[in-house]
Structure 1
Amino acid sequence: MGTSKPTGTIVLIHGAWLNSHSWERVKTRYEAKGFTVIAPDWPLDDRSPEELRAAPSPGLAELGQRQIVDHYERIIKTLPEAPILIGHSLGGVFVQHLLDRGLGSAGVAIDPAPTPGVPIHLRALVSALPVFLDPFSRSKVKTMSRRFFRNRFAQTVTADNADALYDRYIVPTPGRVYWDGIVNPMRIDWTNPARPPLLLISGGKDLIADASMTRAIYREQRRAPSRTEYVEFPFRSHWTLLDEGWEEVADAALAWATTA
């Protein structure tokens, strides 16, 4: 007799500089395991990366974190069951906000960006400088340079692959989502008794979201009574779900969430 595949719903939440296209490998892998997987774009991000770079929507400049979290909440509430929530980078921050609202059966925050209530650590601060050094960036759509991508976002990628990966995945992002983290940010109730289980995953070579910052988020989140755990992959960068060996991270996230 064959064994049945697990069933359930997973919502994948992307971060800044990427859209749902960045989940293509993970989505296919999880679907092959029997899950229903949706990877919604942020509002105004629902085109190919090439199209978005060529002509980003003017309204993207006004998009903020609260609007994005509300957008995902509406989607989740239409689902027939509480889904597993898996987010990367700023998407990992949104997972924490959604769990704080009591949404989802469990959540995984992979390389979470700076999270309100936890100081921004050095690597994250340095990586945010291209946005913060532009005093008008809060009302602009920003574009990541190829040099920044090669040196900080995906520095473990081989140089001959970097441009092709940039072309396939990188999109413009609203500067506002950076400023929202420090100007009137949404707060998280670290002791929320209704918060579903949460796993925090970091990469030891991450130059965008320091592993030390993820550990600091974990120390706050474990104040909640629900299950809260931390896993570190020492040799992985912020590009972890698209870099060689991404399957190990994707599988660890799913294995934890399905047993939480």
Structure 2
Amino acid sequence: MQNNSSNSIVFVTGAFVSSTCWNEWKAYFQSQGYTCYAPAHPHKEGIAAALRSEHPHSSIAHNSLTSVVEFYAAFIRRLPEKPILIGHSFGGLILQLLLQQNLGTAGVAIHSVPPQGVLTLKWSFFRSVTPALGLFTSQKKTYLMSFKHWQYTFTNGLDLATQRATYEQFVVPESKRMSRGALTQEAQINFARPHAPLLFVAGSTDHIMPASLNYSNYQRYAKHKGSITEFKEFAGRNHFVLGLPTWRESADFVLSWLSYTIGAPAPVRARTAEPQR
């Protein structure tokens, strides 16, 4: 255990969705005594339906990976203490870039987009990410995930009514410039550098960020023996992990890991496991 506890958490939102995806997590962690923040990406403030009405000429299109990382870095530097960082999907990549700047006491990357150079050959990954990159289309226009793609990429396995309701509640336009940044030096991590304790959480039924890809990301850090890096795969979790009926189990595991690793109060700690192949 490291004596590096923090009473603050910054939740880092991923691509394609509103920051309101963190509402239940934020309320739960606040009930555990944390001060929690879930800032929206630049130009993504407001309800999802209103943001969708601005597609394809939304100002969101101006966001880049670098500018969004800089936004979070500036937000964190204004806080009274260095926070714990918890990020989902693209937020997991942003979190890794923030930890590289020593801006968090610990990081939890949930179903994370990997840094540059960490790839998978799984077909579900390519089927999920290719439309969002908008190759051969203008970066001046946003990408808006279709309902059909939401069903495959985020909410596979859920009933139709839940898929439709969550699409209406959370899906927002996204910057193709930001998505493409994950393939460039903007997303470069120096895995040889020491880093704050870092946990990767993955799900066995995630199409867009397969557990094996998250495990590859984890392994790149695990080579640095002087830093804490751990991995946990949950069975039956798709990419909509934050809003599944099982979200409390995932949140409790994160609390346990934080307690064991940096001394934060938490429920009983669960066991780390390698991904299913």
Identify the TM-score tier after normalising by the shorter chain: over 0.9
Which sits farther off after the overlay, 54-63 or 100-109?
Answer: 54-63
SS of alignment partner, residue 80 of structure 2: coil
1:191 is matched by which residue type in structure 2? Answer: A
**Structure 1 consecutive aligned stretches of length 4 or more whose deviation exceeds 4 Å:** none
Q: Deviations over 1:166-211 (max 9, x none)?
A: 1111111111122112244331110112x10100010000001011
Equivalenced residues, count: 254
**How far apart, in 2, do the equivalents of 1:255 and 1:69 lie?**
27
Find the counterpart in structure 2 of residue 119 from structure 1: 119
- Shift of the alpha carbon at 1:137? 4.7
Q: Which runs of 5+ in 2 are unaligned?
A: 262-277
Contact 1:103 1:196 in 2 (8 A): no
**How far apart, in 2, do the equivalents of 1:164 and 1:66 lie?**
32
Contact 1:143 1:172 in 2 (8 A): yes
SS of alignment partner, residue 188 of structure 1: coil
The 3 A distance-change label for structure 1 pair 132 and 95 is closer
Q: Deviations over 1:109-151 (max 9, x none)?
A: 0000132121244232221121345411533201010111112
The 3 A distance-change label for structure 1 pair 113 and 137 is farther
Identity of aligned residues (%): 31
**How far apart, in 1, do the equivalents of 2:94 and 2:191 lie?**
14
**How far apart, in 2, do the equivalents of 1:133 and 1:67 lie?**
19
Matches within 5 A, 1:1-20: 8-20=7-19
**How far apart, in 1, do the equivalents of 2:252 and 2:151 lie?**
26
SS of alignment partner, residue 201 of structure 1: strand
The 3 A distance-change label for structure 1 pair 250 and 154 is same
1:55 is matched by which residue type in structure 2? Answer: E
The 3 A distance-change label for structure 1 pair 109 and 137 is farther
Contact 2:134 2:176 in 1 (8 A): no
Matches within 5 A, 1:187-226: 187-193=188-194, 195-224=195-224, 225-226=226-227
Which sits farther off after the overlay, 236-245 or 153-162?
Answer: 153-162
Find the counterpart in structure 1 of residue 21 from structure 2: 22
Contact 1:14 1:87 in 2 (8 A): yes
Matches within 5 A, 1:36-51: 36-51=35-50
1:220 is matched by which residue type in structure 2? Answer: R
- Shift of the alpha carbon at 1:58? 3.1
1:198 is matched by which residue type in structure 2? Answer: L
Contact 2:134 2:143 in 1 (8 A): no
Find the counterpart in structure 2 of residue 163 from structure 1: 164
Which sits farther off after the overlay, 136-145 or 35-44?
Answer: 136-145
- Shift of the alpha carbon at 1:256? 1.1
Contact 1:127 1:207 in 2 (8 A): yes
Find the counterpart in structure 2 of residue 228 from structure 1: 229
**How far apart, in 2, do the equivalents of 1:132 and 1:179 lie?**
6
Find the counterpart in structure 2 of residue 83 from structure 1: 83
- Shift of the alpha carbon at 1:7? 7.1
SS of alignment partner, residue 139 of structure 1: coil
SS of alignment partner, residue 12 of structure 1: strand
2:166 is matched by which residue type in structure 1? Answer: L
The 3 A distance-change label for structure 1 pair 184 and 140 is farther
Note the aligned Cα RMSD (angstroms).
1.7
Q: What is the TM-score of this pair, normalised by structure 2?
A: 0.87
SS of alignment partner, residue 103 of structure 1: coil
Q: Which runs of 5+ in 1 are unaligned?
A: 1-5
1:214 is matched by which residue type in structure 2? Answer: N
Q: Deviations over 1:49-85 (max 9, x none)?
A: 1111112563211211010111101111111111110
